[in-house]
């Protein structure tokens, strides 16, 4: 299971290179805080069989993302065997398991203030359980699978289900405060759907009919006219698109022109929308098939050689199973780089120590340079990985499609080490270690 040396093995040439020329004039990135290394950055701390094979009822994947409790040093993760697990982060030992009546393909949400875990199940319900022992607190029935991570903001719990319904609950009791529903689109849909973004007193959400909406976070009232990205997709494909979905959870940013959110239509591409009005700021139709977005940011910092400082920078990362991994300029949607993907596509890019951690449904997990899309390192998993990792400092926890929980450690180059930096769980660093 040790990381493969991609730079030295020709079989991985598809994975390690960007497009020969950047699609829009190119970018010439200066050296990032993350110093490029061809291999050796990721190591497996442990792997724990989590899902009993007899309980994998035909599910070819595990999409239950991981949540990490840094202070309690616990990991929470759902699985296709209908359970939510709590494990000791240091050893991988199971502390407790909570049983539902459907696969748990939702990333859980840990609330340290209430010491509770919220998560959804394919049985159509949202659950709240005690974090210490998994004791049942309440179950909120929605009649459709709940597979996106809930969001807790200003005393309200927000979540969505697969029936294009967004709900706001009183988190202590599970009482419904408001809900909004759109009639799901007729025809074919890509697996998955948008989760909620709660930002600037609004709840932003994409729907299966290609519409993006903004609701008042307190009342659920419409704050936008519906923004129809399906019509934009029709212009791109020249016909009624086969897939209308907006499956990406919106991503916020403050652009030079004001607040904006980023979303992606399966066939229409990636869009930036004005966060107040929904007006289109820019679009990129080349980056089609995108199912997840994230904004990578790097603060201003000194070069390894000293002053002058390099400027802060931001790159919008878009992951598509059909067109690749994209790095876009968030101000105008210009393509900075595009990287070919391993077979089966990649999912859920995340910031891991300044690099990108992405999973591949048929291969494993990869560490990517966010400035040019090149592979830094990777860990092979026989059954591939479809879930999102839980990240805490230099440690990442991730569930493979074969039902094993992996704990990965990230080693940075020695010349980037800062002894005063906190360790993986936020405690003062040991000066005898590289991280």
292 found inside a domain: yes
Q: 247: pLDDT confidence band, cut at 50, 70 and 90?
A: confident
Q: Where are the beta strands (DSSP E) in 34-174?
A: 42-49, 66-69, 74-78, 83-88, 94-99, 109-111, 116-120, 125-130, 136-141, 151-153, 156-161, 165-170
Residue range 138-153, pLDDT digits in tens: 999 999 999 999 999 9
417, 429 contact by CB (below 8 A): no
- Under DSSP, is residue 210 helix (H, G, I), strand (E, B) or coil? coil
Sequence-separated contacts (24+) of 280-286 with Cβ below 8 Å:
280/227, 280/232, 281/255, 281/257, 282/332, 282/333, 283/232, 283/333, 284/328, 284/333, 284/334, 284/335, 285/236, 286/23, 286/323, 286/326, 286/335
115, 74 contact by CB (below 8 A): no
Which one, of 307, 308, 330, 310, lies nearest residue 318 by Cα?
A: 330
How many angstroms separate the Cα of 422 from the Cα of each of 392, 419, 431?
A: 11, 8, 11
Q: What residues pair up with 116 in beta bridges, in sequence order?
A: 111, 130
178 found inside a domain: no
Q: 15: pLDDT confidence band, cut at 50, 70 and 90?
A: very low
239 found inside a domain: yes
Mean pLDDT of 353-366: 88
The pLDDT of residue 222 is 97
CATH of the domain at 199: 2.130.10.10
Q: What is the DSSP letter of 89?
A: T
Q: In the predicted model, what is the mean pLDDT of the chain?
A: 82
> How many percent of the chain have pLDDT more than 90?
55
Containing structural domain, residue 210: 6-27+39-102+188-302+310-410
How many angstroms separate the Cα of 395 from the Cα of each of 46, 325, 410, 424?
A: 11, 23, 6, 6
Which one, of 407, 403, 406, lies nearest residue 62 by Cα?
A: 403
Residue range 201-226, pLDDT digits in tens: 999 999 988 899 999 999 999 999 99
> How many percent of the chain have pLDDT more than 70?
78
pTM of this structure: 0.85
145 found inside a domain: no
434, two tokens: 């590289």
182 found inside a domain: no
Residue range 394-403, pLDDT digits in tens: 999 999 988 9
Number of folded domains that form the chain? 1
134 found inside a domain: no
71, two tokens: 């202070």
426 found inside a domain: no
Distance CA 314, CA 330 (A): 7
Q: How many residues does the chain have?
A: 435
117 found inside a domain: no
């Amino acid at each position: 299971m040790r990381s493969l040396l991609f730079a030295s093995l020709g079989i991985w040439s598809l994975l390690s290179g960007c497009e020969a020329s950047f699609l829009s004039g190119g970018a010439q990135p200066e050296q990032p805080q993350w110093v490029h290394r061809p291999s050796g950055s990721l190591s497996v701390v442990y792997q724990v069989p989590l899902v009993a094979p007899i309980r994998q009822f035909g599910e070819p994947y595990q999409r239950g993302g991981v949540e990490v409790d840094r202070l309690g040093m616990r990991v929470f993760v759902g699985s296709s065997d209908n359970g939510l697990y709590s494990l000791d982060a240091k050893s991988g030992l199971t502390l407790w398991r909570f049983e539902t009546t459907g696969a748990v393909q939702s990333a859980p949400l840990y609330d340290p203030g209430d010491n509770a875990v919220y998560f959804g199940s394919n049985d159509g319900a949202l659950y709240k359980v005690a974090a210490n022992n998994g004791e049942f607190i309440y179950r909120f029935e929605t009649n459709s699978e709940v597979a996106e991570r809930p969001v807790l903001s200003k005393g309200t719990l927000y979540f969505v289900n697969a029936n294009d319904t967004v709900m706001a609950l009183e988190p202590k009791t599970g009482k419904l405060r408001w809900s909004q529903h759109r009639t799901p689109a007729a025809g074919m849909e890509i697996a998955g759907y948008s989760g909620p973004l709660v930002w600037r007193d609004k709840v932003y959400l994409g729907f299966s009919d290609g519409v993006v909406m903004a609701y008042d976070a307190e009342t659920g009232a419409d704050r936008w006219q519906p923004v129809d990205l399906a019509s934009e997709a029709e212009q791109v494909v020249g016909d009624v698109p086969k897939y209308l979905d907006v499956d990406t959870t919106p991503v916020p940013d403050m652009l030079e022109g004001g607040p904006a959110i980023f979303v992606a239509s399966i066939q229409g591409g990636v869009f930036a929308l004005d966060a107040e009005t929904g007006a289109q700021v820019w679009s990129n139709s080349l980056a089609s098939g995108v199912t997840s977005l994230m904004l990578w940011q790097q603060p201003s910092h000194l070069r390894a050689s000293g002053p002058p400082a390099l400027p802060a920078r931001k790159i919008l990362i878009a992951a598509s199973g059909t067109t690749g991994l994209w790095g876009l300029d968030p101000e105008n949607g210009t393509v900075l780089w595009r990287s070919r993907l391993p077979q089966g596509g990649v999912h859920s890019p995340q910031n891991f120590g300044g690099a990108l951690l992405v999973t591949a449904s048929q291969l494993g997990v990869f560490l990517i340079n966010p400035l040019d899309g090149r592979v830094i390192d990777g860990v092979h998993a026989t059954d591939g990985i479809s879930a999102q990792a839980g990240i805490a400092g230099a440690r990442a926890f991730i569930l493979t499609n074969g039902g094993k929980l992996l704990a990965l450690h990230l080693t940075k180059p020695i010349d980037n080490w800062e002894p005063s930096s906190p360790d993986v769980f936020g405690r003062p660093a040991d000066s005898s270690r590289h991280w």
